[in-house]
Amino acid sequence: MLWAEGLRHAFNEGRVVALDDVSFNLAAGQTLAIFGPNGAGKTTLLKVLAGLIRPQAGSARVAGGRRAIGWIGHQSQLYGHLSVRENLLFWASLYGVPRAERGARATDVLARLGMTDRAEQPVWSLSRGLVQRAAIAKALIHEPRVLLLDEPFTGLDLGAAAELRALLAALRGAGRALVLTTHNVDEGAELATDVAFQLRGRFVQYAPRAGRGSAEIAEAYRRAVAGTNG
Amino acid sequence: MGELLRQTWTIARKDLLLEFRSRTAIVSAVVFTALVLTVFNFGRDPTAVSALDLAPSILWVTFTFAAMLGLNRAFQLELENQAIEGLLISPLDRRSLYWGKLLANLRSFVAVVEAVGLPLFVLFFNVPVGHVLLPLLAVMALATLGFVAVGTLFSAMVVRTRFAELMLPVLLLPFLLLPLTYAVQATARLLADRPLSEVAGWLRLLAAYDIVFLAVASWLFPYTVDE
């Protein structure tokens, strides 16, 4: 469903390496959790997968192209002066959802995220947590087969983060492929079917989770970071 | 083609709705237009130069700088919450983004700024335009299309740069010299009651400028928004 082969990318005329020979593939129902410190190149990787950045070497492909991608990132990508529903209808239209289905899709996704009573509120009037939920609704409105999640738990309280984890688990169960980046192992480990540690642009470890718990993955991550820094 | 038009309309409709809700660009451009015309009205010596000689230049300089305000805003609203990234990830055809922004800019600029500016211009400069209204509207439509065609492209180019509001006029004004000259020449002849045959040449030049720059901008636009 998602293939990346030999991705390389650097900024500042090659001085800052963001991607260094990154390769992986992901099938339906799999979740790749990528852990790495700030500046490791996680966001660059997601932007390459989404087609926002053209890599300097290698290639990435998503089955179904842009239409199959849903994106949840640091920023909501929503228009503050439009209501939540207006935003969803706009993005549904851009993704080619048939006009007759847009309203029902928006109603459905808002209900799944517990935002039915906020549908007509302008985005600027929502709290950070609610904006993040609206951003998730936006990412799901066209029923993408691949979800790219860049630090999706940032700014969420414990309850909202748990709800988001449950939602993502349900999406994975429904056959979506998820790529999740975070610097917090506890947040992402339990969702993952595959785990990668990205340091200075490189996947220093990439393996199936294979029953490892959060604590075990966190310990392996700490060792990897210490090894790279040392 | 149908998909291109549908996406174009989706972008234009969203921009117009946002502008209607926030009124940021339109209000500032209209206030600017009114203020500049007022300043020119009181700042000139009517005994030194006749209103008829000054009026075409004043009208078009005012419209040009008012357009800058609106054009600056066109892509800045996409920076809010990084909506621009959402647009670029989506299957939106980049040309639809350009044409949608162009439509929204035209609507804001033509419908509001010029609709307010022209009556104020007539009022302040006491220049009757009733008898040449149709050809004058044709000049305004063609010149505005040229301004907005180039301005929408440059607005996208500078939006992610530092000092975007300064960069836009610096980059854009040299490209507006031609349509500005054509529009001033055509307007001067219309206001002086010269025969329409004298205006036709300037109108053709404006139309040629529009065709060339619409084509070039539409072709170049995808390269300006992709990283």
Q: Which residues of B touch A51 (CB under 8 A)?
A: 88-89
Q: Which residues of A touch B6 (CB under 8 A)?
A: 93
Q: Which residue of B has its CA nearest to A66?
A: B91
Q: Is the pLDDT of residue B99 over 60?
A: yes
Question: Please, which pLDDT band fits residue B215 given cuts at 50, 70 and 90?
Answer: very high
Across residues B101-126, what is the average pLDDT? Answer: 85
Question: How high is the mean pLDDT of chain B?
Answer: 89
Measured between CB atoms, which of B14, B21, B227 is closest to A52? B227
Tell me whether A69 touches chain B (CB under 8 Å). yes
Are A97 and A141 in contact, with CB atoms under 8 Å apart? yes
Tell me whether B171 touches chain A (CB under 8 Å). no
Measured between CB atoms, which of A69, A74, A93 is closest to B89? A69
In whole angstroms, give the CA distance from residue A97 to residue A104. 11
Q: How far is the alpha carbon of B34 from chain A, nearest alpha carbon, in Å?
A: 27
Helix, strand, coil percent content, chain A, rounded in steps of 5: 40, 25, 30
Q: Is the pLDDT of residue B68 over 90?
A: no
pLDDT score for A124: 95
Angle at B107 between CA A96 and CA B144, to 5 degrees: 120
More confidently predicted of B77 and B112: B77
Q: Is the pLDDT of residue B131 over 90?
A: no
Q: Which residue of B has its CA nearest to A75?
A: B81
Tell me whether A137 touches chain B (CB under 8 Å). no
Q: Which residues of A touch B3 (CB under 8 A)?
A: 96
Tell me whether B226 touches chain A (CB under 8 Å). yes
A71, A76, A87, A93: which to substitute to probe chain B, counting the most B Cβ within 10 Å?
A: A93
Question: Please, which pLDDT band fits residue B110 given cuts at 50, 70 and 90?
Answer: confident
Across residues B116-128, what is the average pLDDT? Answer: 86
pLDDT score for B90: 95
**Token pair in block for residue B166:** 């300064």
ipTM value greater than 0.95 = no
A90, A148, A154: which to substitute to probe chain B, counting the most B Cβ within 10 Å?
A: A90
What's CA A210's distance to the chain center, in Å?
A: 22
Q: Which residue of A has its CA nearest to B23?
A: A81
Q: Which residue of A has its CA nearest to B19?
A: A81
Q: Which of B56-60, B108-112, B146-150 has the lowest mean pLDDT?
A: B108-112
Tell me whether B4 touches chain A (CB under 8 Å). no
Tell me whether A9 touches chain B (CB under 8 Å). no
Q: Which residues of B touch A125 (CB under 8 A)?
A: none
Question: Please, which pLDDT band fits residue B208 given cuts at 50, 70 and 90?
Answer: very high
Tell me whether B45 touches chain A (CB under 8 Å). no
First to last CA, chain B: 25
Are B152 and B224 in contact, with CB atoms under 8 Å apart? no
In whole angstroms, give the CA distance from residue B88 to residue A100. 25
Angle at B217 between CA A81 and CA B28, to 5 degrees: 35
Per-residue pLDDT of chain A (230 residues; tens, 9 = 90+): 899 999 999 998 888 899 999 999 999 999 999 999 888 999 999 999 999 999 999 999 999 999 999 999 888 999 999 999 999 999 999 999 999 999 999 999 999 888 999 999 999 999 888 898 899 999 999 999 999 999 888 777 788 788 888 888 998 988 999 999 987 788 788 889 999 999 999 999 898 988 888 888 888 888 888 877 65
A2-63+145-229 maps to which CATH number?
3.40.50.300
More confidently predicted of B117 and A148: A148
Measured between CB atoms, which of A53, A65, A78 is closest to B83? A78
Q: Which of A57-66, B40-49, B195-204 has the lowest mean pLDDT?
A: B40-49
**Token pair in block for residue A15:** 């001085």
Cβ–Cβ gap B3/A51 under 8 Å: no
Domain boundaries, chain A: 2-63+145-229, 80-143
pLDDT score for B125: 84
Q: How far is the alpha carbon of A183 from chain B, nearest alpha carbon, in Å?
A: 22
Q: How far is the alpha carbon of B160 from chain A, nearest alpha carbon, in Å?
A: 15
Domain boundaries, chain B: 2-225
Tell me whether B2 touches chain A (CB under 8 Å). no
Q: Which residue of B has its CA nearest to A132?
A: B81
- Tens-digit pLDDT profile for residues A196-217: 999 999 999 898 988 888 888 8
- Tens-digit pLDDT profile for residues B132-188: 999 999 999 999 999 999 999 999 999 888 888 888 999 999 999 999 999 999 999
pLDDT score for A123: 95
> Is the full-model pTM beyond 0.95?
no
Q: How far is the alpha carbon of B177 from chain A, nearest alpha carbon, in Å?
A: 35
pLDDT score for A62: 94
pLDDT score for B227: 65
More confidently predicted of B219 and B227: B219
Q: Which residue of A has its CA nearest to B86?
A: A77
pLDDT score for B66: 87
Q: What is the dihedral of CA B151, B155, B158, B159, to 10 degrees?
A: 170
Q: What interhelical angle do A84-94 and A128-140 show, nearest 10?
A: 30
